[in-house]
Amino acid sequence: MQDQSFQLLLNGVPYIVKAAPFDFNGDTRFTVSYNGSDDFVFTYDRTVGHYVAIGDDTDTIPADLEVAIAERLYALA
């Protein structure tokens, strides 16, 4: 799987998202940034059935953006 770059428009706000997959203990995770932000790690959470951001400062990601990114990552994986 290769690095991905995609655009999202949510509530009139444009986002340029960059996602880079990496392997962690046999699972695919993604390092994600948007609009030049710091990197966030997204991992698949089997209990909720979709990708979620993990780690420090994930509460700074707008909720609708996190959902949209998670949906796109699921389609990529």
The domain total for the chain is 1
Query: Residue 44: how many CA atoms within 13 Å on its side-chain side?
Result: 18
Residue pLDDT, tens place only, 45-66? 999 999 999 998 999 999 999 9
Task: Using a pLDDT cut of 70, give the percent of the chain over it.
Answer: 100
What CA–CA distances, in Å, run from 30 to 11, 12, 13? 24, 25, 23
| Domain interval for residue 46 | 4-76
Q: What is the pLDDT of residue 60?
A: 94
25 pLDDT more than 90: yes
